[in-house]
Amino acid sequence: MIAPAPFKVAAIQTVSTPNVEENLVTAGTLVEQAAAEGAKLVALPEYFCIMGMRDGDKVAAKEKDGAGPIQDFLAATAARHDVWLVGGSVPLDCGDPHKVRNSCLVYDAAGKRVARYDKIHLFGLELGSERFNESNTIEPGDKPLAVDSPFGRIALSVCYDVRFPELYRALAPVDLILVPSAFTATTGRAHWETLLRARAIENLAWVIAPAQGGRHANGRETHGHTMLVDPWGEIVGERASGPGVVVAEIDPAFQARVRAGLPALSHRTL
């Protein structure tokens, strides 16, 4: 059997603002750059469309499922550049007027939405002066999801999900793992790289992790370090901070060799 040909992917890093229109312009420019560099699968980070001054701002910006300027932007941008496009997270209506679903949306190269994953694990942190509780404004999803694509089987997740390896095990085997994120600077420095490399190694899969990276208008600092990791756990692309694009070539034949030489997925007993 002949392995699929190598292809390029791009992970985009942003420093999103409270202004949705401004963020969509920025995202559009970066997707265009990624496509110009040959990427066929492009992923935007969590909250690429809004990083509000307060948690409730994303609730005010929420859209009905399937309709709204953020979703229209994603569909049109994917079709314009002939790329599969991942909207790292979009605030979608959940029926509760005080909450949203934090939804990762995937569009094919024709601009058709092919997947929606709602973030399952909601971030909570009490560490020194830092306090986060996503459950105040987000309703959790309850269904792990992988989508079949021309690039292989893709596991969808969002940010804090990366701390829960059983999510990916429930979907195994997968070829690529998406982790659009907005890690805090504190937890990112401590755990970001370790978590991403661990998920790549244990699943013998590529990890694509677009991130927020910088100081935001609300004063929050996000860790950045948008990263692409290969199935052996090696970092093949990274951007420390600021808006930009990380592009790398993915070779399915390399993954096949790694899995043949270390068939850990077939050795699972649980």
Catalytic residue among 40, 46, 49, 104: 46
Identify residue 108 by its one-letter amino acid code: D
**Token match 């790289």: residue?**
193
- Across 41-61, average pLDDT: 97
The size of the chain, in residues, is 270
- Residues 230-259: pLDDT tens digits? 999 999 999 999 999 999 999 999 999 999
Catalytic residue among 40, 94, 119, 139: 119
Beta strands in the chain (DSSP E): 7-13, 39-43, 84-93, 100-107, 113-118, 124-127, 130-133, 145-149, 152-156, 176-178, 206-209, 226-229, 235-239, 244-250
Cα Rg of the chain, angstroms: 17
pLDDT value of position 3: 62
Where does 48-192 have alpha helices with state H?
56-60, 69-81, 165-169, 185-187
Q: Does the pLDDT value for residue 1 go beyond 80?
A: no
- Residues 61-97: pLDDT tens digits? 999 999 999 999 999 999 999 999 999 999 999 999 9
Q: Active-site residue 40, yes or no?
A: no
Catalytic residue among 49, 94, 104, 159: 159
pLDDT value of position 38: 98
More confident residue, 125 or 62: 62
Q: Active-site residue 8, yes or no?
A: no
Q: Active-site residue 159, yes or no?
A: yes
The band of 222, judged by pLDDT with boundaries at 50, 70 and 90, is very high
Partners of 41 in the beta sheet?
Answer: 9, 84
The structural domains of the chain, ordered by start, are: 7-262 (3.60.110.10)
pTM over 0.85: yes
